[in-house]
Chain A
Amino acid sequence: MNNTADFKRPTRTPEFEKRLAKRYRAERTFKLMGQGAIVFSVAVLIFLLGNMLVNGIGGFQRAELAVPITFAESGLTGDEVSLTAPSAVQTLEMQGMAEVVQLFAEKALGERGADQLSDQAWRDVAAALTADPALLEKTEPMIFNLPASSDLASGLAGEGSPEMRALAKDLVSQGKLAENWDWAFLSRSDATSPQAVGIWGALKGSIFTMLVTLALAFPVGILAALYLEEYAPKNRWTDLIEVSINNLAAVPSIIFGLLGLAVFLAVFPNLRSAPLIGGMTLALMTMPVIVISGRNAIKAVPPSIRDGALAVGASPVQVVFHHVLPLALPGMLTGTIIGMARALGETAPLLLIGMRAFVATPPTDLTSPATVLPVQIFLWSDEIDRGFVERTSAAIVVLLLFLLLMNSIAIYLRNKFEKTW
């Protein structure tokens, strides 16, 4: 037996202790770096969201001038029938509604103030009349908050020319100009002035496009996932399909735009900005994501389920459709919702296939020209007028809320239906 006295005991020397202290300092620094990384990432996220929110609040408001209108003295004529017909607005226009409103504005705001009334403001009054023709009889003045011109709006915000800023200050002190909540932002469509824009046109376009994408990508994705997981024989063709799907999932989205341009628009040349084409392009992009998440959901179903079904004599098709599919469906839905959320935020491929038109009215069906919300944001970001900054941020807030909603539903589904076998 060796003598324990000839140990060197290197780990109990003072040099060791000193080195130990250095090592612990390095450990603390390392841990701090990790914390720093996380703090930075979260801070940027908060900064980004906060920035959008702060700017976006202003986007839900707009500068409006208060104009009292006494309809009985307006000289406008019409009754229940004529004011509820489809051509009512044109009729009012031909009666000189715009000038009437301008006159009332001049009375209330003075000539300079009335000059800064938005030239489409009379349409708001017309809308009120066509909604309630009885207003035409009113002898008391009704106060309408009508949109100001974008120049005056800039003046109210403290930018623009000195005259505008002075005028705005003046009108505010008289109580005739104010920054009001503009919820109609959510129901109007694109326009040239930031005072008049709304996101409904783009939102409806997004909804139509999403519907097409879902209708195409979901069935194809789920059926392909079922085939690859349950039935496909192990041969070169199956490998090729698998490799294709995995590659497609990683292809940059702009390439799908090139595909849409070269193929879909060649086949349907007159549907350039249609949600149908946009939806088809995004469906190609979303389908691999649904296949992959579908396969994972199917893989999670234990083989014992399949064995049990086969043992009672179910055919392979029955095993899958009666037993596996129902159990895998929640996972598939989660993956689909996440894929659709990604598609909702996509911009580049839709730019290439032309969904960047100036769309002043919401699309009526899947083949009318439309745009989508992210593209609308992109188009507005290019505008010079500062008023568009707030509108763009507001549109971003709406987009983010939709994405939050979709992802929350997906997470809720995942948590509710997550079974541990």
Chain B
Amino acid sequence: MMKARDVSVYYGPKKAIDEVSIDISPDYVTAFIGPSGCGKSTFLRCFNRMNDTIPSASVTGSIELEGDNILGDSMDVVQLRARVGMVFQKPNPFPKTIYENIAYGPKIHGLAEKKPDLDAIVERSLTRAGLWEEVKDRLDDSGTALSGGQQQRLCIARAIAVDPEVILMDEPASALDPIATAKIEELIDELSGRYAIVIVTHSMQQAARVSQRTAFFHLGKMVEYGPTSDIFQNPIEERTRDYITGRYG
């Protein structure tokens, strides 16, 4: 679904990502792992052009979404971000009601104008995110009044409300407690066939649990990529092996 070829990211003169190529597909969950500062979040942000919001950042190479080059001028970034959603490390619900949080995307993109349509989308998104039962009676409560884990599922529901093709997750569970983390991982599993999911995580155990393909990053380069089981049991590169076995990270 998405193909990245020779993508490099520069912050001013400094090279943060060095010629990375990878394929993303809805058939498998892709995990990016690596020590902190290796650039995995930076690379993730290329896929929905969130690096555009940083003035000094520049991206070279090509990334295609279903054949369209998203880095070119012909791709509209607003449309891109409706097709490639993102969930952030720290849950960031808007200071609005739960209903309005979910309805935000569909409203601005004009996907539903009438209330019954919006209601349907809200219910569907919250159900898919596993949050419907918990909040169906209090959709008018503020989104920020929920617990951390619920807020993150709210953000996931918000992202899927516009029917994206890809969902990018940047360490989605690192701010949550173990029980909430488990729920998020369960959710990723359920969502994975419908959406192409890429998850950045600093926890190798999480990557092993949740993903089918894993890419290991180190100092801006993608060192190794392959099926998750191979990466964790038979890494080819020495640096990969050192990271997996905990020699650094």
Given a CB threshold of 8 Å, the question of whether A touches B is answered with: yes
Contact of B82 among A4, A7, A11 (CB under 8 A): A11
Cβ of B191 to closest chain A Cβ, rounded Å: 9
Contacts known (A16-B79, A20-B76); A11 close to B194, Cβ less than 8 A: no
- Cα A11 to Cα B106 in complex, Å, equals 10
B163 within 8 A of A: yes
Write out the residue numbers on chain A whose beta carbons fall within 8 Å of the beta carbon of B83. 11-12
Residues of chain A with a CB closer than 8 A to B194's CB: 2, 4, 7
Determine if A236 is an interface residue (Cβ-Cβ < 8 Å): no
Pair A7/B162 contact, Cβ less than 8 Å: no
**Which chain B residues numbered 122 to 151 have a C-beta less than 8 Å away from chain A?**
none
Residue of A nearest to B106 (CB): A10
A1, A4, A8, A20 — which one has the most chain B CB atoms within 10 A of its CB? A4
Closest B residue, CB atoms, query A4: B26
Q: CA of A9 to CA of B79 in the docked complex: distance in angstroms?
A: 11
B100 beta carbon closer than 8 Å to chain A: no
Within 8 A of B (CB), among A5-24: 7-12, 15-17, 19-20, 23-24
Whether a CB of chain A sits under 8 angstroms from the CB of B192 is: yes
A23-34: CB near B (< 8 Å → 1, else 0) gives 110000000000
B116 surroundings in chain A (CB, below 8 A) = none
Q: How far is the CA of A4 from the CA of B165 in the complex (A)?
A: 9
| A12 to B27 alpha-carbon distance, docked (Å) | 21
Q: Which partner residue on chain A sits nearest B78 by CB separation?
A: A20
Q: A4-B26, A8-B163 are in contact. Are A15 and B193 (CB under 8 A)?
A: no
Residues of chain A within 8 A (CB-CB) of B208 are: none
Give the distance in Å from the alpha carbon of A31 to the alpha carbon of B77 in the complex: 18
List of B residues within 8 angstroms of A4 by Cβ? 26, 193-194
In the complex, which residues of chain A have a beta carbon less than 8 angstroms from the beta carbon of B27? 1
Cβ B82 vs Cβ A2 within 8 A: no
Asked if B109 and A7 sit within 8 Å, CB to CB, the answer is no
In the assembled complex, the CB of A9 is this many whole angstroms from the nearest CB of chain B, namely 7
Which listed residue, B26, B162, B193, touches A11 by the CB 8 Å rule?
Answer: B162
B110 contacts the other chain (CB 8 A)? yes
Name the CB-closest residue of B to A17: B79
Interface residues of B in 164-212 (CB under 8 A from A): 164-165, 192-194
- B20 is an interface residue with CB less than 8 A from chain A: no
Q: How large is the interface on A (under 10, 10 to 19, 20 to 34, 35 or more residues)?
A: 10 to 19
Q: A11-B83, A23-B78 are in contact. Are A1 and B163 (CB under 8 A)?
A: no
- Any chain A CB within 8 A of the CB of B111? yes
Provide the residues of chain A in CB contact with B79, threshold 8 Å.
11-12, 16-17, 20
CA–CA, A176 and B192, complex, Å: 98
A16 to B76, CA, bound (A): 12
What chain B residues lie within 8 Å of A11 (beta carbons)?
Answer: 79, 82-83, 109, 111, 162-164
Closest CB in chain B relative to A30 CB, distance in Å: 14
- A386, B193: Cα distance in complex, Å: 84
List, in ascending order, chain B residues with CB within 8 A of A19's CB.
109-110
Question: B76 to A2, Cβ gap below 8 A?
Answer: no
- Check if A2 sits within 8 Å of B163, measured CB to CB: no
| Cα of A20 to Cα of B75 in the assembled complex, Å | 12
Most buried by B among A8, A11, A15, A20: A11
Which of A2, A8, A16 is in CB contact (< 8 Å) with B109? A16
Q: Which residues of B contact A23 (CB under 8 A)?
A: 78, 108
| A9 neighbours in B (Cβ, 8 Å) | 163, 165
In the complex, what's the smallest C-beta–C-beta distance from B165 to chain A, in angstroms? 7
In the complex, which residues of chain A have a beta carbon less than 8 angstroms from the beta carbon of B192?
1
Q: Is the Cβ of B162 less than 8 Å from the Cβ of A2?
A: no
Interface residues of A in 345-386 (CB under 8 A from B): none
Pairwise interchain contact B163-A7, C-beta atoms closer than 8 A: yes
Complexed CA–CA distance, A20 and B109 (Å): 8
The interface residues of chain B lying within 8 Å CB-to-CB of A10 are 109, 111, 162-163
B-chain residues with CB within 8 Å of residue A24 when the two chains form the complex: 78
A residues in contact (CB < 8 Å) with B:
1-4, 7-12, 15-17, 19-20, 23-24
Can you give 25 contacting A-B residue pairs, CB < 8 Å?
A: A1-B192, A4-B26, A4-B194, A7-B163, A7-B194, A8-B163, A9-B165, A10-B111, A10-B162, A10-B163, A11-B79, A11-B83, A11-B164, A12-B79, A12-B83, A15-B110, A16-B79, A16-B109, A16-B110, A16-B111, A19-B109, A19-B110, A20-B78, A20-B79, A24-B78
Additional pairs, 20, CB under 8 Å, beyond known A15-B110, A17-B79, A19-B109 = A3-B193, A4-B194, A7-B163, A9-B163, A9-B165, A10-B111, A10-B163, A11-B82, A11-B83, A11-B109, A11-B111, A16-B109, A16-B110, A16-B111, A19-B110, A20-B76, A20-B78, A20-B79, A23-B78, A24-B78
